[in-house]
Amino acid sequence: MADRPLLITLMAFFGILFAILGILVGIALAGIGGLLSIATLEELTLPTPGIPIALLGYLSLGLTVVGLVVIIFAFLFLLVARGFWVGSEWSRILALILFGLSAISNIYGLYDAGSIVEGTVVSLVIALLFLFYLTRRHVVEFFN
């Protein structure tokens, strides 16, 4: 097996860090959603009068679902990062798919916004750079 390229090492390391952060954020979101659902079920006195209980119910469900989705994607990040660390070809292919979807999403975001949005442009450039890098010969050789 070829030596691991430095950028792949960095991607694996930061991928693990972001995955751990994502799992913690997902747990926090799902936990807040759960607490809101308890408050909704018990119909506790609300700190801001005028918010309907049904709205809190929808908010709690939404936060819980978003938290669970964040946790799922964080575990995918963790798998890809581990695959990058050991040089698994499936992790490179999955990363190509995810960066490709990110690029498509960012292009759509630019089209939908009707103007240049700095964050979207930066995300698009990063996704395209990673797509380019993951198809370079020395990187492909490492994963094969």
pTM over 0.75: no
67-71, 105-109, 113-117, range with the lowest pLDDT = 113-117
Q: Rounded to an integer, what distance in angstroms lies between the CA atom of residue 106 and that of residue 144? A: 30
Dihedral over alpha carbons 79, 81, 84, 90 (to 10 degrees): 30
Contact criterion met (CB below 8 Å) for 64 and 99: no
Instruction: Say what percent of the chain tops pLDDT 90.
Output: 25
Q: What is the CA radius of gyration of the chain?
A: 20
What was the pLDDT predicted at 101? 87
* C-beta atoms surrounding 132 within 10 Å: 11
